[in-house]
Amino acid sequence: MMSLKNKALTKSIWVFHVSAGSCNNCDIEILDCFTPKFDVERFGIQLIGSVRHADAILITGAMNRKSVPLMKKIYEQAPKPCVVVAVGQCALSQHMFRDSYNMIGPLDKILPVDLYIPGCPPRPEAMIDGIRKLVKKIRGGK
């Protein structure tokens, strides 16, 4: 039964996409994954509108004082099991905003991040590769 659960969870990933204050480059690259060239719907990955339906939360952008409470709220609203994916250098390490006055910290200091996708912005291939690695980890690990 455990394997059926993991198989279903990894074969149908519904993605909720949040921008925590990014420059929109990462967001555009995320949408590129759904274009005919990459077509992640092959793997059952879908963008959905409500966080209540989400299996994965993609977070882009640097965490500032305004967005941190919202990110925490969004994570609490998602039904578990739900993974958090940090997309782009800003979410990973705050990039060039590191010394800015309203930065709180990188995303993994705030939420439990399962997958890091570096890049500014990351290429769609990098995101698909990252998802593959996460799927392998979930299937093999548990």
Partner 1 sequence: MKILFHYFIFPGLFFSVVIGLLLCWADRKITARLQWRVGPPWHQNFTDIIKLLYKETIVPVNVRMTFFLAPAVGLFSATLAAAILGRSIISPLESFAGDLIVVLYLLTMPAIAMILGGSSSQNPLASVGASREMKMVLAYELPFLLSVIAVIIKNAGTIQLGSIVNIQANSGANIASLSGACAFISAIFCMQAKLGFVPFDASEADQEIMGGTLIEYSGPLLAFFKLTKAVMFYTMPLLLIVLFLGKDTTPVFMILKYLLLVTIAVLIKNTNPRLRIDQALRFFWGPMTALATISVILAAIRL
Residues lying near partner 1 in the complex (CB under 8 A) are found at 4-5, 7-9, 11-12, 14, 36, 39, 41-42, 44, 47-50, 52-53, 55, 77, 79-81
> Is the CB of 11 or the CB of 65 nearer to partner 1?
11
> Is the CB of 80 or the CB of 99 nearer to partner 1?
80
Contacts of 89 (CB under 8 A, 6+ apart): 95, 118, 119, 120
> Is the CB of 82 or the CB of 103 nearer to partner 1?
82
Smallest distance, Å, CB 51 to partner 1?
8
Smallest distance, Å, CB 13 to partner 1?
9
> Is the CB of 39 or the CB of 129 nearer to partner 1?
39
Smallest distance, Å, CB 35 to partner 1?
8
What is the strand order of the sheet 115-117 is part of? 46-47, 14-19, 56-60, 83-87, 115-117
Smallest distance, Å, CB 106 to partner 1?
27
Residue-by-residue DSSP string for 29-87: HHHHTTSTTT-GGGGT-EE-S-GGG-SEEEEES--BTTHHHHHHHHHHHSPSS-EEEEE
Q: What is the DSSP letter of 123?
A: P
